[in-house]
A and B are shown apart, each in its own frame.
Chain A
Amino acid sequence: MLIQGFLELGPGVFACFYHHALGKTSAKKADDQSLSFILGTEICVALVFLISYIIVTFFITRNGPFSPIFFWVMSGIFLVEAIATFFFYFRPGTKKSTELSLPRSLAKSLIYHAENTKNRSSTIALGLVTCALELIFTFPLYIIASTAIFYANTSMSFVFIIAYIIIATAPLFAIRTFFRTDHNLVELQLIRIKKKLATRIIVSASFLALSIATLIIGFSL
């Protein structure tokens, strides 16, 4: 959950979107549209959670409980992600910007769509797509979270899923509040640039901790 809250693609696109909406329409309308973006992200998180839960349930009911190999593979994936987020999450050699290691054409396309959303449905779609683009980092997290929920098998599962969705979209709410309290994109960018190293360290350390935890679970089975 913590990792998902620290990923930068969603907040970046959201900041572009909100800034542009403020420049084109009234503050009230921009504020209103921003909720559609957040709704899109929430829908995506809920859908992916559902899909990963179905996958986990299908495999466990069909093949029995996960073998240690599953946890070792997950551990390997988290280790690779820990290394990738520390060294390559932000585009190398860009100290004064928050450019991510995305193909530039894709980044430009996202910015273009953030600038040109015209109605609620296109804004929701933008939120969905942005969240889906983070799946390379987040999908293993959903799988592990779904596995944990499946094995926990408590009545608190629903609360856990809701908490996951809230934490995943918390940065977007924070940015929305930031803009609403008379701050602008420049101030936001300066903060994001300042906390770049912290983001890399926190996300990478969290992936590393997950890698170690899944490795231990694998050995204990």
Chain B
Amino acid sequence: MHTDTDAWQWLSPLISGGAGVAALLGVSGMNGTGVQLAVALAVLSIGCAWGSAFRQRLTLARLAQQSRESAEQEQQAARQAGSVTGLEQVCDKAAPIWVKQIETARSQTEEGITEVAARFAAIVDRLHTSAIASQQVSGSGEASVLAQSEADLVALNRSMDAALHKRDEMVRDVRDLVSYTSELKQMAAEVAEIASQTNLLALNAAIEAARAGEAGRGFAVVADEVRKLSSLSSDTGKKMTEKVNVINSAISSVIGVADKFGAEDTRSVAEADETIRRVLANFASFTKGLSESSEMLRRESEGISAEISDTLVFLQFQDRVSQILAQVRDNLGGLHGHLTRHIAERNRGGTSAIDANAWLNEMELGYTTPEQRRNHRGSAEPAAAEATEITFF
């Protein structure tokens, strides 16, 4: 880039300076003032030459820089055009896929969480039902059932006891019969004695009749009949004694058996009474344990139910995630539509610029959760509030 003109620019002050110095020295005849002026002029001309050369270099460097920059800009524009076209193509092809991917993720999460929530709901329902059932069992008053059972069993034993007493009375009556049979025995002996006396009397009468001869014949017949009657009476007396003996032995045997069974029955009733009390005591302690464990089960199932309800509260995240993903999905879909229209417009030779701010503003209008708005504005995430925000109108 060094031309003659460029060289002249810094040579000319030097040449004119040199000529000036020579002229001054010639005119002044080398005196002090002339030399001083000549030196000053020489310095000035050298300075001017250096300044010209410096300016020239600066101009050259600027021109070279400008030319480099414009070449780079051209290259960058070419690169940008290439990359914008590539980016458009990527967005055109990828955006619908992203939309589908997001929707798949969203719907899978929703289905999964809905299913989990439904199962949890079913578990809570079943726990509730079993808690009610166990409460009904323990609450139906095993104490009252126990008291009723005890009353029934004791009453049964009492009636057995009463039957025993009645039998004892009967046995006592039978025992009393023995005294009557002894009287009967005595009476039979008396009958035998009367028969014997009558027989003796009949014998005397027969003797007296024989002594009377013909006159006593009729009387002898009567005496004989009386003797026969006394014989019959004697037989009846013996038979009565025999029968009374049979009756006596039968009564003794009945009393013996009754005494034996009576003792056994009394012992049985006493044992039954004891057994009833023992069984009822066992039953009471068993039902108490059962009631306690059923109460524990009820408390446990209530606890689990509460735990699950608390867990379900955390599943609310799905609703928010779903809303956020749906918004991103719709926005991506919208962007793709816009891009398609933009490409079509450009291919027709027109221009359609995307107003980024309008787009972002519209995007913000679609938000439904505070975190979406916070993310949009890039502000810090605040700690999640523990208490539910409720406004009453």
A binds B: no
Tell me the B residues contacting A by CB distance below 8 Å: none
